Each structure stands twice: as structure tokens, then as C-alpha cells.
Amino acid sequence: MRRVSVDIGGTFTDCFLVFDNKRAEGKALTTHHNLASGFMASLEDVCSQIGVTVKEVLSTVDAVRYATTLGTNTLIERKGPDVGLLTTSGYEFSVPLMRARGYGDGLSSAEQQDLAGADRPVPIVPRSMIEGVDERVDYKGDVVFDVDEDNVRDVVRRLVDRGAQAFVVSTVNSVINP
């Protein structure tokens, strides 16, 4: 078995290498300006510990597992770019409504039912940055009507004008027909 596992964190990039019957752990400083540099530096660290080259590992590895605490921390700390969300027209309020349950995890039944007293989290994407696009896929994954590309361009321009620096596309039934 030959596997590389890397976690890019806010301070360090950790790497764990399994190469046949050898194992090694290493780390490097996270390079925020170029995450690949820290990734490769941590990989070089573990390779040197067991006497193999990075080229040998990458050309024969079974799997590379990549995680990023950095991304999770960016969400939690709300330090990322302003995001625009594109969804199916008519579903723009689905995210802010949270299916009426998005705030209730870990609360008692009585607390979950107290909608007036609910302490809902501040949304990651504010309602003003959510726009619908003209498209539709049914529950079987069949296209009801194709994406209107001109409409998408208009929506993206509006979101950019409002400050969007990154985009999420989450449309109805997209898990059936991505």
C-alpha cells in the first residue's frame, strides 16, 4: 500500500506517508500564498525520512488524501471571499429558510419548536447574494429546460456588482444530474 495524506492547516501542513511497509510523519509551514508549496515541502519531509524521492512516491502512489483545516477555519472565522450563490429560479429562499431546522441541532424538542425564540446562525451567504438562474432538472435527473446562458451571465454580473469574489452553484436535483 502506498498512500499520501496531507492536511493543510492555518500554521502547518502535515503529511503522513505509507510506502509499502514504511511509514513517516512530517510537516512544513503552510504557505498561504501558494498552498502547493507547503504541500510539496511536507511531502519532501516524509520522503526524506524513509529514503524515497517525491517523484517515486507520486508516480506509484495508490491514493492522495487531501484535507484542509485552513478551509474549515476560513468558513468558521468568516475570513473568506464574498460569495455569490446561484440556484434554480424559485428556490432562492431555500437556503435562508434552512428547511426550518438548520438552527436546531443539539437543541431539545421544546427549543426546536420555539421558532420565535430561535437563535439562528448568521448565514455564510447573505440573502442579497443569492440569485436564481433559469434551468430545471426533474427528480429523475432529466433536463426539463436547459440552462439559459445569457441569464447566467446577467446573474453573475449582478452578483459581481454586489461584491461577489467567488461563486457556489447549487441547483435543484443537481445531485442526480450534475
Q: What is the pLDDT of residues 3-61, one digit of tens each?
A: 999 999 989 999 999 999 999 999 999 998 999 999 999 999 999 999 999 999 999 99
**175 inside domain:** no
Please give the pLDDT value at position 101.
59
How many Å apart are CA 140 and CA 175, to the nearest integer? Answer: 10
Q: Are residues 26 and 64 in the same domain?
A: yes
How many Å apart are CA 25 and CA 13, to the nearest integer? Answer: 11
Q: Are residues 32 and 100 in the same domain?
A: no
Taking only the tens place, the pLDDT of each residue in 108-122 is 888 878 877 777 777
Grid cell digits, residue 2: 502506498
Q: Are residues 152 and 87 in the same domain?
A: yes
Listed residues 57, 75, 93: the one ending a domain: 75
Query: Contact, 159 vs 167, CB < 8 A?
Result: yes
Q: Are residues 71 and 120 in the same domain?
A: no
How many Å apart are CA 122 and CA 120, to the nearest integer? Answer: 7
Q: What percent of the chain has pLDDT over 70?
A: 96
> Domain span at residue 37?
2-75
Q: Are residues 118 and 135 in the same domain?
A: yes
Higher per-residue confidence, 143 vs 124: 143
Q: How many domains does the chain have?
A: 2
Query: Contact, 14 vs 42, CB < 8 A?
Result: yes
Q: Are residues 141 and 67 in the same domain?
A: no
